[in-house]
Amino acid sequence: MEQEEMVMGDMYIKPGEAWEYCPREALRRVSTVLKNEFDLEMKAGFEIEFLLLKKAVK
């Protein structure tokens, strides 16, 4: 029986420094620009996740 695990969360280079390609960080940056430059607030958004998979056992 194969078992798969999945963890979703923010990605950081080190504590307090978000990885620039983190989808959640990108959404936060875009939300900030919309609010600060256009006075718009997002009520919903899509979060694109990606997976890096490697077979651990043969």
**What pLDDT does 19 receive?**
92
Q: What is the pLDDT of residue 13?
A: 94
Q: Which pLDDT does position 29 carry in this prediction?
A: 93
Residue 50 lies in a domain: no
Residue 30 is assigned to a structural domain of this protein: yes
Single-letter residue type at 4: E
Residue 19 located in a structural domain: yes
**Residue 47 backbone class (left: φ over 0; alpha: ψ -120 to 50; beta: rest):** beta
Residue 10 · residue 18 · CB < 8 Å: yes
20 in any annotated domain: yes
The confidence score (pLDDT) of residue 1 equals 66
Profile the chain (58 residues) by mean pLDDT over runs of 10 residues: 79 93 88 96 75 66
Q: Which domain holds residue 27?
A: 12-38
Number of domains in the chain: 1
Q: How many residues are listed for the chain in this entry?
A: 58
Does residue 17 lie within any of the structural domains? yes
Q: What confidence score (pLDDT) does residue 3 get?
A: 80
Say what the pLDDT of residue 36 is. Answer: 98
Alpha carbons 41 and 2: distance in angstroms, whole number: 43
